[in-house]
Amino acid sequence: MKKTIILILIAFCFITIIYTKNSSDVDIDVTNNIDKSLINWDDYNVLNNDVYISYNSNKVSGLLLKVNSGFGIEFTGNVLKIEYDEKDHDKDDNEVRLHYVKIIKGDVKSIFINGKDVFSK
């Protein structure tokens, strides 16, 4: 009986740890080369010259990136880090590609773009 209770407590702790870890994770979907004419720009706020943010129920729901050379995205907990070549914003709009990052699960608390904190909750 004592071993059964100990095993149940260990299983409960293990499930709690997994649930806590997964609840803070952020899951995303990236769509590249979006047609700019399909975007309702009124739904987005400007973070910088190249990154726009949208909200749904006071949560970050998506980001638009106007970059040409590619970009990197990294999540650590609820912190989103985006890296790209900032020289892209000097290009003509026809040369720049639009990428959409949809937040599927989780809550983004902070956004860093090229090492600069541009958004915090």
3 state SS of 107:
coil
Boundaries of every domain in the chain: 26-120
- Among 42-51, 64-73, 82-91, 109-118, the minimum mean pLDDT is found in 82-91
**69/57: higher pLDDT:** 57
pLDDT top residue among 93 and 81: 81
Q: How sure is the predictor about 72, in pLDDT bands with cuts at 50, 70 and 90?
A: confident
End-to-end CA distance of the chain: 48
pLDDT tens readout for residues 26-62 = 778 888 888 888 889 999 999 888 899 998 888 899 9
Strands (E), the chain: 27-31, 45-46, 51-56, 59-67, 71-76, 79-84, 97-105, 110-113, 116-120
- Specify the pLDDT at position 59: 87
